[in-house]
Amino acid sequence: MKFLNYISQLSRPKKRIISLLFDSIFICIAFYFSFALRLGQIELFMDIKNVYVLLGTLVITLVTFVRLGLYRAILRYLTFHALFVIFIGALISAMMLALLSFYLQAFMPRTVPIIYFAFLSLLCGSSRLIVKNLVVQGKKKGQKCILIYGAGGAGRQLALSLKSSEEYRPAAFIDTDKTLIGTVIQGLSVCNAKTAESLITKYSVSKIFLAVPNVSRASRKEIIDSLVHLRVEVLSVPSMEDIVSGKAKIDQLGDVPIEDLLGRDPVAPQKVLLEADIKNKVVMVTGAGGSIGSELCRQIIKGKPSDIILFDRSEFSLYEIEKELTQLIEKMGGITKVVPLLGSVQHINRLKMVMGTFKVNTVYHAAAYKHVPLVEFNVVEGMYNNVFGTYNTAKAAIESNVGSFVLISTDKAVRPTNVMGATKRLAELGLQALAEEENKKLNGTRFSMVRFGNVLGSSGSVIPLFKKQITEGGPLTITHPDITRYFMTIPEAAQLVIQAGAMAKGGDVFVLDMGESVKITDLAKNLIQLSGLEVKNDKNIHGDIELKFTGLRPGEKLYEELLVGENVDDTAHERIMTANESFLPLVDYMVLLEKLHVACQHFDHNLIREILLLSPIGFNPTDNIGDLVWNAKLAFIGTIEEKTS
């Protein structure tokens, strides 16, 4: 192996010279053995005419090999084409051997060229295969052994691409298809998926590559559940959609998408609903640079609006989404005009000017403070942005004759235990009150609210945090061992929001079907195990990463709800429901809003809490007032009183 390593370090011209020398030796050996095998003696081989024949054959054969490109082939990547070149070169060499012996009148039995051809093909071909295998075996020592789950088209493509990999070496396929089990594909055995554990031990497998991009998420979840207990890292090939579109290659492996752990298949959107409030219309998205707002913008662009107004208070977020959408429109060949506008929903005059100037038809109101602890620490700002900001945007929409207004709400608005949830429920009440008045008009603004839970990958989402903590070696921080949450992908949530808004009649509270709630502790364990690690606990003290329970954060619930009451009706979409919930008349709501405004202006947090408790939102706080400025002020006053007493 040291000799091969030395050879591999040589320059390409030197390697070709060595190949020429070895092929010269093989030609001589083939020539000699063909005579020896045919005649059983070598005296005639020493005849001067046969020496001339050998020299002539040697030169012509080497020239033929050069012309056929044999020495341009890299042994490490030797293919059937190189062996075919050897076959053609040996055939030409045998023919020249026969012709030269005829013209030089050398003694040569007619079967010698045939035997010579066989010997030369065998020597030149097998020697190269042996060297290739030695090189490959040398590489394998540093390669990680893997299993490929799925012996279908994607699995075969992956196995083929990994043949040239210096990092991974496939040991076998595993599959559940009985028609494939026991067969050999591309030199790899197809084994039953149930034998994965024994294969991992046998081949010291470190990773399993999931190559089943075409199956449903429910099926992928079943597969993942069958692998999650194995102490190997599970990686996934990209989706077939990304592979076909050219966004990704088959061998671009990544972590198992978190949506696969949920096992929830998205429902194909209804094109009519997606385009109803968007196509050829002026659409405005507040909070356009946020997690939900930006995805709404991406989905809206596909509906081909005439203009899309991006409204956000963050300069950087606005710049990023404007640049992305402009590139997306150019790629799609669309003509939608992108209008990036800085502004706050707390400034009603700015909102009126924007909506009136651009003749906005549809508003998606995603601007809000959504992080529960931060709103708990900054109560007044949360009120101004989420409650008054929503009311300002809705009033501006009415005065600007906007056709449809959709509020992005949250499951935390149901029986809220925190200020953020309370502000979102108050925002809903405001829209319901305004909707009652607008429904009396001939062409009033249609108000609707769409309520859903957590979205995967949003800012503040637990999933990116867990992945970062796993990379850093843990621990994974969870607030409570029994905490559960609903999850949905951002694209699916955005599509459902748009479709729900299109079905609105006025004052509707839409609730998205979030599927089954997920226990965060189970999700954390799955992420650890899919990374090829073990959970460290009292039962497994030698594990890799432990779970650390930090206690519920201010205002945090153990579980979330989507409905205030039990009155819920189906809609034309299987994933969208509508809730029938009580609300305040506009007069009563304005009284509540005025009281809240006065309390916020005076930063009177006791009064703010009292108003929230008395309002019909079901506010049931789990913690004391958490506003940081208020508490710091109380602490300062307490210190002064102590000093003066």
Which active-site residues does the annotation give? Answer: 412
> In Å, how far from its chain's centre is CA 254?
8
Closest-CA residue to 159 (of 128, 184, 123, 177): 184
Count of C-beta atoms within a 10 Å radius of residue 24: 14
Rounded Cα–Cα distance for residues 50 and 61 (Å): 16
Residue 480 sits at φ, ψ, to 5 deg, of: -150, 140
Count of C-beta atoms within a 10 Å radius of residue 424: 31
Rounded Cα–Cα distance for residues 346 and 392 (Å): 7
Read off the tokens for 637.
């006053």
- The bridge status of strand 144-149 relative to strand 207-210 is parallel
SS3 track for 473-514: CCCEEECCCCCEECEEEHHHHHHHHHHHHHHCCCCEEEEECC
Rounded Cα–Cα distance for residues 476 and 585 (Å): 47
DSSP state of 417: S
Could you tell me the sign of the dihedral formed by the alpha carbons of 547, 484, 413, 415, in that order?
A: negative
Tally helices (H) and strands (E) across the chain.
Answer: 24, 23
Read off the tokens for 477.
């921080």
DSSP state of 531: B
Could you tell me the sign of the dihedral formed by the alpha carbons of 504, 509, 514, 515, in that order?
A: negative
- Under a CB-based contact definition with an 8 Å cutoff, are residues 580 and 569 in contact? yes
Rounded Cα–Cα distance for residues 514 and 535 (Å): 28
Exposed, middle or buried, 42 (CB in 10 Å: 0-12/13-18/19+)? exposed
- The bridge status of strand 184-185 relative to strand 188-192 is antiparallel
Count of C-beta atoms within a 10 Å radius of residue 504: 21
**CA distances (Å), 459 to each of 48, 117, 140, 456, 534, in order?**
87, 70, 42, 9, 27
- What's the residue count for the chain? 645
Rounded Cα–Cα distance for residues 110 and 584 (Å): 108
Rounded Cα–Cα distance for residues 504 and 9 (Å): 71
Q: What end-to-end distance do the CA atoms of the chain give, in Å?
A: 88
> In Å, how far from its chain's centre is CA 291?
15
**Helical axes 389-399 vs 419-438, angle rounded to 10°:** 20
Closest-CA residue to 307 (of 287, 322, 292): 322
Read off the tokens for 298.
């991406």
Rounded Cα–Cα distance for residues 458 and 296 (Å): 13
Residue 268 makes CB contacts below 8 A (sequence gap 6+) with none
